[in-house]
Amino acid sequence: MNTFVTLSSGQRMPMVGLGTWKSAPGQVKQAVLTALECGYRHIDCAAAYGNEQEVGEALALWVGPGKILPREEVFLTSKLWNTKHDPEDVEEACRTSLAHLGLSYLDLYLMHWPMAFQRGKEVMPRREDGSICYSDTHYRDTWRAMESLIDKGLVKAIGMSNFNARQTDDIISIARHKPVVNQVQLITVQLVSSKLWNVILICLKQISLAVCVTAYSPLGSGDRPWASPDEPSLLEDPRLGAITQTYHKTPAQVILRWHIQRGVVCIPKSVTPSRIQQNLKVFDFSLSQEDMKLIESFNRSQRFIVPSVERDGKRVWRDAG
Ligand code: A2P
C-alpha cells in the first residue's frame, strides 16, 4: 500500500506523521530531528501544544533552501486554537504559528475544535468556578476566515479536528475551499465512540468529498496527564500478543498498520528514538482480514477527550452547532 494519501487538494500527505501533542519542551526538538533523520516527512503540530517554537528549531536545521530537505518534501500541519476563532484573530494566529515554526506556509491548517473559547491570551479561559468561558463565534464564520488564508498563500489546505458528522457535513455544505482532513481521536477501536465512528464512516465513504481521516492518539495516549492507572493499556492488551508474533511486529506497529489498512492517516507521538523509528516501519507487512476484524472487536465505545459543559447539573456534549 502507498505510504501517502492524495488529498482532495491534490497534495500528497504521508500516512504516518510524528505527533507532537504532549511532547515536552526540551524533548520535542530532538524528537523532530530523529523523525526527519529516519524518514518521516509529516509533522503534526498545534499552537495549543505550546512547543511550536522548539519544533521550528528542528525544522530550521533540516528544511528549506540550502538545508537537507526542500520545504516541499515535508508535510507540516498546525491548528487554530479555540481562543482564536473570531474571524479577526484567525490570520494573526496562523502567522504566529508560521513564525514559531519558521515557515512561510503550512501544508495544512486545521480548526482544532468546533467550539470557540473567549478571545484572549489565556489558552483555557476559565471563570472563578473553573468552568470554561465559551464564545458564540460559530465555526462557519471561523471557517470562512480560514479560507482566506489559502487565498493569501499562507496555507495550502484547510481542515478540521474533533468535528462530528453533522458539523463535518455543515462545513462541506458552506465551504468555498473544501476541508481536506478531519483529525479525530481514534485510539484503534478500543476507545472509539459510535458517534465518532459515524464521522469516520462519513469521511471514508464520501469519496467524492474526500475528507481524509487522521487519527490522533492512535496508540492510546497512555501519557496523557489524566490517564487512570486502572485503565487497560491498549499496547499491553494480551489479545495483541498472537498477532504480534505472527507478523514479528510490536503492538504499536500492529495498531498503526490496522489504521493504515483502513485508509486512516496516523500521527503517533513519541520522544523515544527507537519508538519513533519503529512507528514508521509499518509498510512492509499486511494484516489479514481476520486480524483486522479481531482488532476491531476491541471496541469499548469510549473517548477520553469529550468537550462537555454542565447543563442542569449534568455533563452534556458541547455541540457547537
Ligand atoms: P514516548 O513519547 O515516551 O516514547 P499517542 O500517539 O497515542 O498519543 O501515544 C503516545 C504514547 O505512546 C507516549 O507515551 C509514547 O511514549 C508512547 N509510544 C509511542 N510509540 C510507542 C511504541 N512504538 N511503543 C510503545 N509506546 C510508544
Residue 152 burial (C-beta neighbours within 10 Å; 0-12, 13-18, 19+): exposed
Q: Could you tell me the residue ranges of all domains in the chain?
A: 4-317
pLDDT at 32: 98
pTM for this entry? 0.91
pLDDT at 315: 47
The answer, yes or no, to whether any atom of ligand 1 lies below 6 A from the CB of 279, is yes
Nearest to 218 by CA among 8, 11, 9, 21: 21
Ligand 1 center from residue 219 Cα (angstroms) = 6
pLDDT at 98: 98
pLDDT at 80: 98
Q: For the chain (length 321 residues), average pLDDT per consecutive 10?
A: 83 97 94 97 97 98 97 98 98 98 98 95 91 93 98 97 85 93 73 61 56 88 79 86 96 94 92 97 97 84 59 48 35
Q: Which residue has the cell 455541540?
A: 319
Question: DSSP letter at 161?
Answer: E
Which grid cell sits at 249? 511486529
Does the annotation list 112 as a binding residue? yes
Determine the atom of ligand 1 nearest the C-alpha atom of 269: 6
pLDDT at 231: 76
Nearest to 214 by CA among 237, 184, 234, 239: 184
Residue of the CA atom closest to atom 2 of ligand 1: 270
CA 272/CA 250 separation, integer angstroms: 15
The answer, yes or no, to whether any atom of ligand 1 lies below 6 A from the CB of 235, is yes
Q: Which helix (H) or strand (E) holds 127?
A: none
Which CATH superfamily groups domain 4-317?
NADP-dependent oxidoreductase domain (3.20.20.100)
Ligand 1 center from residue 221 Cα (angstroms) = 7
Nearest to 139 by CA among 152, 158, 120: 158
Contact 272, 219 (CB under 8 A): no
pLDDT at 225: 79
The residue length of the chain stands at 321
The answer, yes or no, to whether any atom of ligand 1 lies below 6 A from the CB of 234, is no
CA 133/CA 126 separation, integer angstroms: 5
CA 105/CA 115 separation, integer angstroms: 25
ipTM, interface predicted TM-score of the complex: 0.99
Dmax (CA) of the chain: 59
Nearest to 80 by CA among 47, 103, 54, 53: 47
Q: Which residue has the cell 459543559?
A: 309
Cα→Cα distances 170→9, 141, 167, 224, 228, Å: 19, 12, 5, 31, 35
CA 260/CA 268 separation, integer angstroms: 12
Cα→Cα distances 50→20, 100, 199, 227, Å: 10, 10, 28, 20
Ligand 1 center from residue 269 Cα (angstroms) = 6
pLDDT at 306: 60
Residue of the CA atom closest to atom 11 of ligand 1: 221
